[in-house]
Structure 1
Protein backbone atom coordinates (compact mmCIF):
# COMPACT_ATOMS: atom_id res chain seq x y z
CA UNK A 1 0.00 0.00 0.00
CA UNK A 2 1.22 3.37 -0.82
CA UNK A 3 1.91 5.67 2.04
CA UNK A 4 -0.72 8.20 2.91
CA UNK A 5 -0.06 11.69 1.77
CA UNK A 6 -0.45 14.48 4.11
CA UNK A 7 -2.66 17.20 2.69
CA UNK A 8 -2.14 20.77 3.58
CA UNK A 9 -5.18 22.78 4.33
CA UNK A 10 -4.67 26.26 3.17
CA UNK A 11 -6.97 29.13 3.48
CA UNK A 12 -7.95 30.84 0.30
CA UNK A 13 -7.27 34.43 -0.13
CA UNK A 14 -10.35 36.62 -0.70
CA UNK A 15 -8.61 38.46 -3.54
CA UNK A 16 -7.79 35.25 -5.21
CA UNK A 17 -11.39 34.12 -4.92
CA UNK A 18 -12.54 37.39 -6.45
CA UNK A 19 -10.11 36.98 -9.33
CA UNK A 20 -11.32 33.44 -9.88
CA UNK A 21 -14.92 34.61 -9.95
CA UNK A 22 -14.12 37.38 -12.35
CA UNK A 23 -12.26 34.96 -14.63
CA UNK A 24 -15.20 32.58 -14.46
CA UNK A 25 -17.56 35.43 -15.28
CA UNK A 26 -15.50 36.50 -18.24
CA UNK A 27 -15.34 32.93 -19.39
CA UNK A 28 -19.11 32.64 -19.01
CA UNK A 29 -19.66 35.87 -20.96
CA UNK A 30 -17.36 34.57 -23.69
CA UNK A 31 -19.16 31.20 -23.70
CA UNK A 32 -22.51 33.02 -23.96
CA UNK A 33 -21.22 35.12 -26.91
CA UNK A 34 -19.94 31.98 -28.61
CA UNK A 35 -23.27 30.23 -28.05
CA UNK A 36 -25.14 33.27 -29.38
CA UNK A 37 -22.92 33.27 -32.49
CA UNK A 38 -23.50 29.56 -32.85
CA UNK A 39 -27.28 30.06 -32.52
CA UNK A 40 -27.15 32.90 -35.09
CA UNK A 41 -25.22 30.63 -37.48
CA UNK A 42 -27.71 27.83 -36.87
CA UNK A 43 -30.59 30.27 -37.54
CA UNK A 44 -28.96 31.39 -40.78
CA UNK A 45 -28.40 27.76 -41.74
CA UNK A 46 -32.03 26.93 -40.94
CA UNK A 47 -33.23 29.92 -43.00
CA UNK A 48 -30.94 28.91 -45.88
CA UNK A 49 -32.14 25.29 -45.69
CA UNK A 50 -35.77 26.45 -45.69
CA UNK A 51 -35.09 28.79 -48.62
CA UNK A 52 -33.30 25.97 -50.47
CA UNK A 53 -36.19 23.60 -49.68
CA UNK A 54 -38.71 26.09 -51.07
CA UNK A 55 -36.51 26.65 -54.14
CA UNK A 56 -36.16 22.89 -54.61
CA UNK A 57 -39.94 22.43 -54.31
CA UNK A 58 -40.51 25.18 -56.86
CA UNK A 59 -37.93 23.65 -59.19
CA UNK A 60 -39.42 20.20 -58.65
CA UNK A 61 -42.90 21.51 -59.58
CA UNK A 62 -41.41 23.16 -62.65
CA UNK A 63 -39.59 19.92 -63.56
CA UNK A 64 -42.81 17.91 -63.11
CA UNK A 65 -44.69 20.32 -65.39
CA UNK A 66 -41.89 20.13 -67.92
CA UNK A 67 -41.92 16.33 -67.68
CA UNK A 68 -45.69 16.29 -68.28
CA UNK A 69 -45.25 18.53 -71.33
CA UNK A 70 -42.45 16.30 -72.60
CA UNK A 71 -44.58 13.20 -72.04
CA UNK A 72 -47.41 14.82 -74.00
CA UNK A 73 -44.97 15.86 -76.73
CA UNK A 74 -43.59 12.33 -76.70
CA UNK A 75 -47.08 10.89 -77.11
CA UNK A 76 -47.78 13.38 -79.95
CA UNK A 77 -44.48 12.52 -81.65
CA UNK A 78 -45.15 8.79 -81.24
CA UNK A 79 -48.62 9.22 -82.73
CA UNK A 80 -47.22 11.26 -85.64
CA UNK A 81 -44.38 8.78 -86.22
CA UNK A 82 -46.83 5.87 -86.18
CA UNK A 83 -48.98 7.63 -88.77
CA UNK A 84 -45.93 8.44 -90.89
CA UNK A 85 -44.69 4.85 -90.53
CA UNK A 86 -48.01 3.44 -91.73
CA UNK A 87 -48.05 5.87 -94.67
CA UNK A 88 -44.46 5.03 -95.58
CA UNK A 89 -45.14 1.31 -95.22
CA UNK A 90 -48.12 1.59 -97.59
CA UNK A 91 -46.09 3.63 -100.08
CA UNK A 92 -43.18 1.20 -99.81
CA UNK A 93 -45.46 -1.80 -100.38
CA UNK A 94 -46.92 -0.13 -103.48
CA UNK A 95 -43.44 0.77 -104.71
CA UNK A 96 -42.22 -2.81 -104.16
CA UNK A 97 -45.17 -4.15 -106.20
CA UNK A 98 -44.48 -1.65 -109.00
CA UNK A 99 -40.79 -2.52 -109.00
CA UNK A 100 -41.50 -6.28 -109.02
CA UNK A 101 -43.75 -5.76 -112.05
CA UNK A 102 -41.07 -3.63 -113.70
CA UNK A 103 -38.40 -6.26 -112.94
CA UNK A 104 -40.61 -8.92 -114.51
CA UNK A 105 -41.07 -6.79 -117.65
CA UNK A 106 -37.36 -6.01 -117.82
CA UNK A 107 -36.51 -9.71 -117.42
CA UNK A 108 -38.73 -10.55 -120.38
CA UNK A 109 -37.16 -7.75 -122.42
CA UNK A 110 -33.70 -8.99 -121.40
CA UNK A 111 -34.49 -12.51 -122.64
CA UNK A 112 -35.71 -11.06 -125.97
CA UNK A 113 -32.63 -8.84 -126.24
CA UNK A 114 -30.33 -11.78 -125.47
CA UNK A 115 -32.04 -13.86 -128.18
CA UNK A 116 -31.70 -10.99 -130.64
CA UNK A 117 -28.07 -10.49 -129.63
CA UNK A 118 -27.32 -14.21 -130.19
CA UNK A 119 -28.97 -13.99 -133.63
CA UNK A 120 -27.00 -10.84 -134.46
CA UNK A 121 -23.77 -12.56 -133.32
CA UNK A 122 -24.47 -15.57 -135.54
CA UNK A 123 -25.25 -13.30 -138.50
CA UNK A 124 -22.11 -11.26 -137.88
CA UNK A 125 -19.98 -14.41 -137.64
CA UNK A 126 -21.53 -15.62 -140.93
CA UNK A 127 -20.80 -12.24 -142.56
CA UNK A 128 -17.24 -12.27 -141.24
CA UNK A 129 -16.72 -15.79 -142.57
CA UNK A 130 -18.11 -14.75 -145.98
CA UNK A 131 -16.01 -11.59 -145.94
CA UNK A 132 -12.87 -13.57 -145.04
CA UNK A 133 -13.65 -16.07 -147.82
CA UNK A 134 -14.16 -13.21 -150.31
CA UNK A 135 -10.94 -11.54 -149.17
CA UNK A 136 -9.04 -14.82 -149.51
CA UNK A 137 -10.51 -15.35 -153.00
CA UNK A 138 -9.66 -11.80 -154.05
CA UNK A 139 -6.17 -12.14 -152.59
CA UNK A 140 -5.70 -15.36 -154.58
CA UNK A 141 -6.90 -13.60 -157.76
CA UNK A 142 -4.65 -10.63 -156.98
CA UNK A 143 -1.66 -12.95 -156.50
CA UNK A 144 -2.47 -14.65 -159.86
CA UNK A 145 -2.81 -11.26 -161.56
CA UNK A 146 0.46 -10.13 -160.04
CA UNK A 147 2.17 -13.26 -161.32
CA UNK A 148 0.60 -12.73 -164.78
CA UNK A 149 1.63 -9.07 -164.84
CA UNK A 150 5.15 -10.00 -163.77
CA UNK A 151 5.31 -12.53 -166.58
CA UNK A 152 4.00 -9.99 -169.11
CA UNK A 153 6.40 -7.35 -167.77
CA UNK A 154 9.39 -9.71 -167.99
CA UNK A 155 8.40 -10.75 -171.51
CA UNK A 156 8.02 -7.10 -172.57
CA UNK A 157 11.28 -6.14 -170.91
CA UNK A 158 13.06 -9.06 -172.55
CA UNK A 159 11.54 -8.06 -175.90
CA UNK A 160 12.50 -4.41 -175.32
CA UNK A 161 16.01 -5.43 -174.30
CA UNK A 162 16.46 -7.48 -177.44
CA UNK A 163 15.05 -4.60 -179.56
CA UNK A 164 17.40 -2.16 -177.79
CA UNK A 165 20.27 -4.54 -178.38
CA UNK A 166 19.45 -4.72 -182.09
CA UNK A 167 19.03 -0.92 -182.23
CA UNK A 168 22.31 -0.43 -180.35
CA UNK A 169 24.09 -2.67 -182.80
CA UNK A 170 22.59 -0.67 -185.66
CA UNK A 171 23.60 2.65 -184.08
CA UNK A 172 27.11 1.38 -183.36
CA UNK A 173 27.47 0.25 -186.99
CA UNK A 174 26.07 3.56 -188.22
CA UNK A 175 28.27 5.55 -185.85
CA UNK A 176 31.34 3.58 -186.91
CA UNK A 177 30.50 4.29 -190.53
CA UNK A 178 29.97 8.03 -189.83
CA UNK A 179 33.14 8.14 -187.80
CA UNK A 180 35.07 6.50 -190.59
CA UNK A 181 33.61 8.95 -193.11
CA UNK A 182 34.68 11.95 -191.02
CA UNK A 183 38.10 10.49 -190.55
CA UNK A 184 38.48 10.15 -194.27
CA UNK A 185 37.23 13.71 -194.85
CA UNK A 186 39.68 15.05 -192.30
CA UNK A 187 42.54 13.15 -193.81
CA UNK A 188 41.59 14.58 -197.24
CA UNK A 189 42.01 18.00 -195.72
CA UNK A 190 45.30 16.84 -194.20
CA UNK A 191 44.14 16.78 -190.63
CA UNK A 192 44.71 14.07 -188.11
CA UNK A 193 41.53 13.10 -186.18
CA UNK A 194 43.52 12.32 -183.06
CA UNK A 195 44.78 15.90 -182.74
CA UNK A 196 41.37 17.48 -182.99
Structure 2
Protein backbone atom coordinates (compact mmCIF):
# COMPACT_ATOMS: atom_id res chain seq x y z
CA UNK A 1 0.00 0.00 0.00
CA UNK A 2 1.67 3.22 -1.09
CA UNK A 3 2.20 5.83 1.59
CA UNK A 4 -0.30 8.63 1.77
CA UNK A 5 1.17 11.98 1.36
CA UNK A 6 -0.48 14.83 3.11
CA UNK A 7 -0.20 18.47 2.36
CA UNK A 8 -0.15 18.11 -1.40
CA UNK A 9 -3.80 19.04 -1.89
CA UNK A 10 -5.01 22.52 -2.66
CA UNK A 11 -5.98 24.80 0.17
CA UNK A 12 -8.47 27.63 -0.19
CA UNK A 13 -6.94 31.01 -0.59
CA UNK A 14 -3.34 29.72 -1.21
CA UNK A 15 -1.37 29.08 -4.34
CA UNK A 16 0.23 25.73 -5.16
CA UNK A 17 3.88 25.58 -4.17
CA UNK A 18 6.57 23.76 -6.11
CA UNK A 19 8.90 21.30 -4.40
CA UNK A 20 11.81 23.62 -5.05
CA UNK A 21 10.14 26.49 -3.29
CA UNK A 22 9.24 24.55 -0.09
CA UNK A 23 10.68 25.89 3.09
CA UNK A 24 12.63 23.78 5.55
CA UNK A 25 9.63 23.57 7.84
CA UNK A 26 7.42 22.35 4.99
CA UNK A 27 10.05 19.81 4.00
CA UNK A 28 10.22 18.67 7.63
CA UNK A 29 6.43 18.26 7.83
CA UNK A 30 6.41 16.45 4.51
CA UNK A 31 9.17 14.15 5.75
CA UNK A 32 7.28 13.53 9.01
CA UNK A 33 4.16 12.63 7.03
CA UNK A 34 6.16 10.31 4.78
CA UNK A 35 7.74 8.67 7.86
CA UNK A 36 4.29 8.18 9.46
CA UNK A 37 2.99 6.71 6.22
CA UNK A 38 6.02 4.42 6.03
CA UNK A 39 5.46 3.39 9.67
CA UNK A 40 1.82 2.56 8.90
CA UNK A 41 2.91 0.66 5.81
CA UNK A 42 5.59 -1.16 7.83
CA UNK A 43 3.03 -2.01 10.58
CA UNK A 44 0.71 -3.41 7.91
CA UNK A 45 3.58 -5.41 6.45
CA UNK A 46 4.47 -6.74 9.93
CA UNK A 47 0.84 -7.77 10.54
CA UNK A 48 0.74 -9.51 7.15
CA UNK A 49 4.06 -11.19 7.91
CA UNK A 50 2.77 -12.27 11.36
CA UNK A 51 -0.40 -13.71 9.83
CA UNK A 52 1.63 -15.40 7.11
CA UNK A 53 3.89 -16.87 9.81
CA UNK A 54 0.84 -18.16 11.75
CA UNK A 55 -0.61 -19.69 8.57
CA UNK A 56 2.78 -21.09 7.69
CA UNK A 57 3.10 -22.74 11.13
CA UNK A 58 -0.43 -24.06 10.86
CA UNK A 59 0.26 -25.53 7.41
CA UNK A 60 3.57 -26.92 8.63
CA UNK A 61 1.69 -28.62 11.47
CA UNK A 62 -0.88 -29.99 9.05
CA UNK A 63 1.86 -31.14 6.70
CA UNK A 64 3.69 -32.80 9.61
CA UNK A 65 0.45 -34.54 10.70
CA UNK A 66 -0.17 -35.63 7.10
CA UNK A 67 3.39 -36.96 6.83
CA UNK A 68 2.96 -38.89 10.10
CA UNK A 69 -0.39 -40.24 8.90
CA UNK A 70 1.22 -41.24 5.60
CA UNK A 71 4.08 -42.98 7.40
CA UNK A 72 1.58 -44.76 9.71
CA UNK A 73 -0.52 -45.72 6.71
CA UNK A 74 2.57 -47.16 4.99
CA UNK A 75 3.42 -49.09 8.17
CA UNK A 76 -0.17 -50.34 8.45
CA UNK A 77 -0.22 -51.23 4.75
CA UNK A 78 3.06 -53.11 5.12
CA UNK A 79 1.70 -54.94 8.18
CA UNK A 80 -1.53 -55.79 6.38
CA UNK A 81 0.39 -56.94 3.30
CA UNK A 82 2.69 -59.05 5.47
CA UNK A 83 -0.26 -60.54 7.35
CA UNK A 84 -2.14 -61.24 4.12
CA UNK A 85 0.97 -62.86 2.62
CA UNK A 86 1.35 -65.02 5.73
CA UNK A 87 -2.34 -65.97 5.64
CA UNK A 88 -2.11 -66.74 1.93
CA UNK A 89 0.90 -68.99 2.44
CA UNK A 90 -0.80 -70.72 5.38
CA UNK A 91 -3.98 -71.18 3.35
CA UNK A 92 -1.98 -72.45 0.37
CA UNK A 93 -0.19 -74.99 2.59
CA UNK A 94 -3.48 -76.09 4.15
CA UNK A 95 -5.07 -76.39 0.72
CA UNK A 96 -2.16 -78.48 -0.56
CA UNK A 97 -2.47 -80.78 2.45
CA UNK A 98 -6.25 -80.97 2.03
CA UNK A 99 -5.89 -81.77 -1.69
CA UNK A 100 -3.37 -84.51 -0.91
CA UNK A 101 -5.67 -85.90 1.79
CA UNK A 102 -8.70 -85.82 -0.54
CA UNK A 103 -6.73 -87.53 -3.30
CA UNK A 104 -5.72 -90.30 -0.87
CA UNK A 105 -9.33 -90.64 0.30
CA UNK A 106 -10.51 -90.72 -3.33
CA UNK A 107 -8.09 -93.57 -4.07
CA UNK A 108 -9.42 -95.53 -1.08
CA UNK A 109 -13.03 -94.84 -2.11
CA UNK A 110 -12.32 -96.03 -5.67
CA UNK A 111 -10.82 -99.29 -4.37
CA UNK A 112 -13.75 -99.74 -2.00
CA UNK A 113 -16.21 -98.98 -4.82
CA UNK A 114 -14.65 -101.61 -7.07
CA UNK A 115 -14.77 -104.14 -4.23
CA UNK A 116 -18.39 -103.21 -3.48
CA UNK A 117 -19.36 -103.57 -7.14
CA UNK A 118 -17.87 -107.07 -7.23
CA UNK A 119 -19.67 -107.96 -3.99
CA UNK A 120 -22.91 -106.51 -5.37
CA UNK A 121 -22.61 -108.60 -8.52
CA UNK A 122 -22.02 -111.75 -6.44
CA UNK A 123 -24.90 -110.84 -4.12
CA UNK A 124 -27.27 -110.34 -7.07
CA UNK A 125 -26.32 -113.73 -8.50
CA UNK A 126 -26.81 -115.37 -5.10
CA UNK A 127 -30.14 -113.58 -4.63
CA UNK A 128 -31.39 -114.77 -8.00
CA UNK A 129 -30.38 -118.33 -7.10
CA UNK A 130 -32.10 -118.13 -3.69
CA UNK A 131 -35.21 -116.58 -5.27
CA UNK A 132 -35.42 -119.38 -7.80
CA UNK A 133 -35.04 -122.01 -5.08
CA UNK A 134 -37.69 -120.29 -2.92
CA UNK A 135 -40.11 -120.05 -5.83
CA UNK A 136 -39.67 -123.76 -6.48
CA UNK A 137 -40.19 -124.58 -2.80
CA UNK A 138 -43.24 -122.28 -2.63
CA UNK A 139 -44.71 -124.07 -5.62
CA UNK A 140 -44.19 -127.43 -3.90
CA UNK A 141 -45.69 -126.15 -0.64
CA UNK A 142 -48.72 -124.69 -2.45
CA UNK A 143 -49.35 -128.11 -3.98
CA UNK A 144 -49.11 -129.74 -0.53
CA UNK A 145 -51.35 -127.03 0.99
CA UNK A 146 -54.01 -127.62 -1.64
CA UNK A 147 -54.04 -131.35 -0.74
CA UNK A 148 -54.07 -130.61 2.97
CA UNK A 149 -56.92 -128.10 2.57
CA UNK A 150 -59.14 -130.78 1.09
CA UNK A 151 -58.27 -133.21 3.91
CA UNK A 152 -58.77 -130.59 6.64
CA UNK A 153 -62.01 -129.42 5.08
CA UNK A 154 -63.51 -132.88 5.56
CA UNK A 155 -62.17 -133.11 9.11
CA UNK A 156 -63.50 -129.63 9.90
CA UNK A 157 -67.00 -130.46 8.57
CA UNK A 158 -67.10 -133.60 10.71
CA UNK A 159 -65.91 -131.71 13.79
CA UNK A 160 -68.45 -128.92 13.26
CA UNK A 161 -71.27 -131.39 12.79
CA UNK A 162 -70.30 -133.13 16.05
CA UNK A 163 -70.08 -129.79 17.85
CA UNK A 164 -73.52 -128.68 16.63
CA UNK A 165 -75.00 -131.96 17.83
CA UNK A 166 -73.35 -131.57 21.26
CA UNK A 167 -74.56 -127.95 21.51
CA UNK A 168 -78.13 -128.98 20.70
CA UNK A 169 -77.95 -131.68 23.37
CA UNK A 170 -76.52 -129.26 25.95
CA UNK A 171 -79.13 -126.63 25.04
CA UNK A 172 -81.97 -129.04 25.66
CA UNK A 173 -80.47 -130.15 28.99
CA UNK A 174 -79.96 -126.54 30.18
CA UNK A 175 -83.45 -125.64 29.07
CA UNK A 176 -84.90 -128.47 31.18
CA UNK A 177 -82.75 -127.55 34.17
CA UNK A 178 -83.73 -123.88 33.86
CA UNK A 179 -87.44 -124.81 33.82
CA UNK A 180 -87.01 -126.90 36.99
CA UNK A 181 -85.07 -124.14 38.77
CA UNK A 182 -87.61 -121.57 37.72
CA UNK A 183 -90.48 -123.67 39.09
CA UNK A 184 -88.63 -124.23 42.40
CA UNK A 185 -87.94 -120.51 42.82
CA UNK A 186 -91.58 -119.68 42.06
CA UNK A 187 -92.74 -122.21 44.68
CA UNK A 188 -90.42 -120.74 47.33
CA UNK A 189 -91.62 -117.21 46.61
CA UNK A 190 -95.21 -118.35 47.00
CA UNK A 191 -94.29 -119.98 50.32
CA UNK A 192 -93.00 -116.62 51.56
CA UNK A 193 -96.23 -114.98 50.39
CA UNK A 194 -94.67 -113.16 47.47
CA UNK A 195 -96.16 -113.03 44.06
CA UNK A 196 -93.49 -113.56 41.40
CA UNK A 197 -95.47 -111.35 39.02
CA UNK A 198 -95.11 -108.38 41.43
CA UNK A 199 -91.32 -108.75 41.32
Structure 1 and Structure 2 fold alike (TM over 0.5): yes
Give the number of aligned pairs.
137
- Say whether 1:64 aligns with 2:85: yes
2:143 match:
122
Structure 1 residues 118 and 33, CA gap change in structure 2 (3 angstroms) = same
TM-score by length of 2: 0.56
Displacement after TM superposition at 1:91 (Å): 1.2
Question: Could you list the runs of 5+ residues in structure 1 that have no partner in the other structure?
Answer: 1-9, 150-196
Displacement after TM superposition at 1:73 (Å): 2.2
- Say whether 1:97 aligns with 2:121: no
Q: How does 1:1-196 map to 2 (within 5 A)?
A: 11-12=5-6, 15=36, 18-19=39-40, 21-136=42-157
SS at match of 2:60: helix
Structure 1, residues 19-53: CA drift from partner, whole Å, max 9, x if none? 45424422331222112111121122112212221
Structure 1 residues 20 and 126, CA gap change in structure 2 (3 angstroms) = farther
TM-score by length of 1: 0.57
1:187 match:
none
Larger relative contact order (Cα-Cα within 8 Å, sequence gap ≥ 6): 2
Give the distance between the partners of 2:161 and 2:79, measured in 1 at CA.
111
Displacement after TM superposition at 1:78 (Å): 0.7
